[in-house]
Structure 1
Amino acid sequence: MGAHLIDSRIFGHQWTTPESRALFDEPARVARWLEIVITLAEAQAECGVIPAESALAIGQLRGAVLPIEEIARRTRETSHSTLGMIQVLRERLAGAAAEHVYYGTTVQDVTDTAQALEIRATCSLLWRDWRQIESDMLALALQHRATPMPGRTHGQPGAPIAFGFKVATWADELGRHLQRLRQGGERWMVGQLGGAVGTLAFFGERALPLRSAFCRRLGLRAPAVSWLSSRDCLAEFAHVVAMAVSSLARLANEVYALQRREIGELAEKTRSSTVGSITMPHKRNPEVSEQIVVLARLVRSHAAVLTDTMVQEHERDARGWKAEWVVLPELCHMALAATTMARELMAGLEVRTDAMRRNLDDNASSEHLLSVMALRLGKHRAQAVLNDAYRRARDEQLPLEQVLQGVASAQELAELPVIDLGASAAMVDAVVAATQRRRDAEPAEWA
């Protein structure tokens, strides 16, 4: 217990959530496999493949708590991924029902279908939390649609922006990920019933009706063709999640940078019990932001592995799909952890407007002055003149006002200082309006 950080009772809260643990822990996995086996039997009875009595007996196992240690022992003995569970199930069934459990199917039918159900549950949680984060972003963007702060390029202060403009870029980006998550469902929510090599030859003419009934009962779409070695949909899901979590990491990285004491424009909310350092009592570390960035890096690496599993051999290749058993749950754990942290970060974000204003120095008016002088000198000539003036003030440590008096007219200088936020507010309003239209047209729950 605790061999993996996800399972650690000390550090697990940084790598997973209670909801993702409940979704992916071993009892939940076995229960999911059992539900798939039962649903298959019920679909087989519906299509006349097995007797209704057998399906009824198998169905009575629904909700049973199976002995995981016994399943594990038999799995090691047989060296087969699901035979240990099947043996345990058969011992709980009498007569023909014991022969009809797991009838005509194979490991990948169960595990691939289980992965589709896991993705569905994960998407539901992500959808809920991403929409809440987006909602908080929209409110913050509107609140600060005209709050000035330094815009920065190359890590250096540039022209002014509204803080709401920065937040609107976060919301707009996250909104596109929500669209991708919704659009991907049609491709990802697909069941698997292919049998030995995907042809379903075991079931004869009942094969395709059986697959349709099986998927329908699980709330999944029936595929046009078995996807035993076609793994593109898993890779697509992974990359959509990786992109979204990376967008959350962009937000977190911004908080990390702007919380620096010498900048001090944003800060994470902390509890009174939080300790930044046991040797430097003054420290207040952006630990949540740091962890989101770490988790996003790992999610991206896991998405790359799931892309690699697309290269498979022939009609079944365990070298590919067994790697998914490790990588897909870890990706979901970490994506859900990062999302939960980002939700808390946004809900408690401290915005220090006084520091934002303080950090707007005399240089903040340079773009506005350039636009004014360009009317007289032409844009490129004005840029060269001002570039030289600001360089002289910096290198020779001269008062900026004194240097500018030598290159700009009195009328041009009369407009300074000015905080020109450009179209920041208008773009905030556009993002909020477009996002609200989209949200009004989409379901509150992922489907």
Structure 2
Amino acid sequence: MSYDEWQSPLGGRYASKEMLKLFSARTRASTWRQLWIWLAEAEKELGLDIPQEAITQMEAAKVMSDDDFQVAAVEEKRRRHDVMAHVHAFGERAPAAAGKIHLGATSCYVTDNADLIFLRDGLSLLLPKIAKCVKKLSDFAVEYKAMPCLGYTHGQPAQPITVGRRAIQWIESLLMDLRNIERARSDLRFRGVKGTTGTQASFLELFHGDHAKVKQLDELVTKKAGFQKRSILSVQTYNRKIDFDIANVLASFATTCEHIGTDIRHLAMVKELEEPFEKDQIGSSAMAYKRNPMRSERMCSLARKLTTLPQGFAATYAHQWFERSLDDSAIRRIDIPEMFLLADALSILLENVSSGLVVYPAVVNSRLQQELPFMATETMIMRMAEKGASRQETHEQIRVLSHQAGAVVKQEGQANDLVERIRKEKFFEPIWTELTEDDLLNPAKFIGRSPEQVEEFVEEEVQPALEPYKNQIQSSRAAELNI
């Protein structure tokens, strides 16, 4: 690592080794070489004069060495063309293939097909990570499905829900992200073997006008690359709308992460819930007592960055001229790896936070009790009506007492004394005996079907969605337990 040159924090601090490796220079260059091998193999299978020795030598030199990079760098400086520099470097390592490498192809055969491979493999790396987050949060939701807590609307205390019910709301969004990413991956079509403007004219020339063989070549290379479908209508590049689509999907995942992180930060602010905090972790350089929600803050920060990237992909697609222009190249070199590294970092952070959320039941209950008397008033009105009191008169009595109690809370900073006021008011004597934590003041009576909704959602939505990732989730769990 150089301490005298700028390094992206995504590499040094946030993203995983496997995602960094996927977008590394060696993976990129080695994938180009693999694509040249697949092309040569397919051309040989369809009758072109490609010596077996050429393919053997190419296979032996498939992985880009450090020396190969030096050779390519010198050639690129001379030729000002990265792909031809790599053709030259590959030819030096596989001399029997020097005249056959890149036969009939244009630069985008390797650059764009490689990018599609990276898009596919990047999405494949993200999916099980997001699935693990869903599993851990769903376990948390089930554990706390029945613990009443304050609900909020407009940022103000509202009807209670449960700690688990709030967590399952996060999962609903994550399942949408999981489906979106699965869909984007399944929609990918290989660019394949198309030539300079997509017409396959160069390959039609190679095969002496045999349209069937040109189509077979396209299909063979697509199959070798592991894609189910190929684009029939790629121009020199694959459709840049694909990048925009994937950027939107990953940005959508980022919004989920920021939403969850923001909720956790708000709950930490009132001490109801905290993200994991390590034994020797420092919360503040000055205030030693602090337990800042730094993981959730980082999650919000990285998510904010990722949500800005789709605009660049939108402009790149919109501004492509006819069959291709090169104003897409530099921005894509930066933004494609960056959006995956950001999404990867977010999935790592979210899994870390999900693995150790800490709930403080006493604080949760204390804050609920401060507001519960107000929330119980509707039930009180109904109970009084059942006992023969006028609903309208009861409503007026409670309105007056509620405003008095509210003034005590807001103006004097005292506890909510509405229940005590009702217990002293002769009008409410018919329900005095019901003003207990087992009856009218029981928080569990105000959470509706929250526990049942958590169970239903896990059974009907979460479990089916996680089924394809079951083995990866289990292996990850085994690794955590050192099994």
For the criterion TM > 0.5, the same-fold answer is yes
Checking the alignment, whether the CA contact within 8 Å between 1:20 and 1:336 is kept in structure 2 is yes
SS of the equivalent of 1:149 reads strand
1:373 is aligned, of 347, 372, 381, to 381
Amino acid at match of 1:297: R
Counterpart residue number, 2:93:
92
Measured against aligned partners, the alpha-carbon deviations of 1:53-92 in whole angstroms (never above 9, x if no partner) come to 3434433322352522332232233222311111111223
SS of the equivalent of 1:157 reads strand
Which segment is superposed worse, 163-172 or 299-308? 299-308
Q: Compared with structure 1, are the counterparts of its residues 309 and 192 closer, same or farther at alpha carbon in structure 2 (3 Å cutoff)?
A: farther
1:238 aligns with 2:256: no
Q: Compared with structure 1, are the counterparts of its residues 212 and 371 closer, same or farther at alpha carbon in structure 2 (3 Å cutoff)?
A: farther
Q: Compared with structure 1, are the counterparts of its residues 105 and 400 closer, same or farther at alpha carbon in structure 2 (3 Å cutoff)?
A: same
Q: Compared with structure 1, are the counterparts of its residues 20 and 437 closer, same or farther at alpha carbon in structure 2 (3 Å cutoff)?
A: closer
TM-score (norm 2): 0.83
Counterpart residue number, 1:307:
314
Checking the alignment, whether the CA contact within 8 Å between 1:41 and 1:58 is kept in structure 2 is no
How far apart are 1:441 and its partner, in Å?
5.2
CA distance in 1 between counterparts of 2:246 and 2:392 reads 47
Within-5 A mapping of 1:47-66: 47-53=46-52, 54-65=54-65
Amino acid at match of 1:136: K
Within-5 A mapping of 1:319-334: 319-334=327-342
Q: Compared with structure 1, are the counterparts of its residues 173 and 72 closer, same or farther at alpha carbon in structure 2 (3 Å cutoff)?
A: same
1:142 aligns with 2:166: no
Amino acid at match of 1:435: E
2:287 is aligned, of 280, 285, 303, to 280
Amino acid at match of 1:134: V
Counterpart residue number, 1:113:
113
SS of the equivalent of 1:55 reads helix
Counterpart residue number, 2:226:
219
How far apart are 1:270 and its partner, in Å?
2.1
Which segment is superposed worse, 232-241 or 396-405? 396-405
Measured against aligned partners, the alpha-carbon deviations of 1:366-416 in whole angstroms (never above 9, x if no partner) come to 344325536859999998986665344323658423665779844566353
Measured against aligned partners, the alpha-carbon deviations of 1:210-242 in whole angstroms (never above 9, x if no partner) come to 111111001012112215262222222221122
How far apart are 1:289 and its partner, in Å?
0.7
Which segment is superposed worse, 160-169 or 85-94? 85-94
Amino acid at match of 2:287: M
Counterpart residue number, 2:304:
297
Checking the alignment, whether the CA contact within 8 Å between 2:189 and 2:231 is kept in structure 1 is no
Checking the alignment, whether the CA contact within 8 Å between 1:242 and 1:299 is kept in structure 2 is yes
Counterpart residue number, 1:188:
188
CA distance in 2 between counterparts of 1:41 and 1:408 reads 93
Checking the alignment, whether the CA contact within 8 Å between 2:135 and 2:466 is kept in structure 1 is no
Q: Compared with structure 1, are the counterparts of its residues 107 and 367 closer, same or farther at alpha carbon in structure 2 (3 Å cutoff)?
A: farther
CA distance in 2 between counterparts of 1:386 and 1:286 reads 40
Q: Which runs of 5+ in 2 are unaligned?
A: 205-210, 473-483
Counterpart residue number, 2:348:
340
Which segment is superposed worse, 99-108 or 287-296? 99-108
TM-score (norm 1): 0.89
How far apart are 1:52 and its partner, in Å?
4.1
Measured against aligned partners, the alpha-carbon deviations of 1:162-203 in whole angstroms (never above 9, x if no partner) come to 101011111222122212222222212534432211111100
1:429 aligns with 2:447: no
Counterpart residue number, 1:44:
43
Counterpart residue number, 2:366:
358
Checking the alignment, whether the CA contact within 8 Å between 1:45 and 1:55 is kept in structure 2 is no
Measured against aligned partners, the alpha-carbon deviations of 1:140-164 in whole angstroms (never above 9, x if no partner) come to 1111110111112233322211101
Checking the alignment, whether the CA contact within 8 Å between 2:191 and 2:238 is kept in structure 1 is no
Q: Compared with structure 1, are the counterparts of its residues 372 and 439 closer, same or farther at alpha carbon in structure 2 (3 Å cutoff)?
A: same
CA distance in 2 between counterparts of 1:380 and 1:374 reads 11
Structure label with greater radius of gyration: 2
Checking the alignment, whether the CA contact within 8 Å between 1:75 and 1:81 is kept in structure 2 is yes
Amino acid at match of 2:22: L
Count residues in correspondence: 439
Checking the alignment, whether the CA contact within 8 Å between 2:192 and 2:221 is kept in structure 1 is no
1:18 aligns with 2:27: no
Amino acid at match of 1:175: L
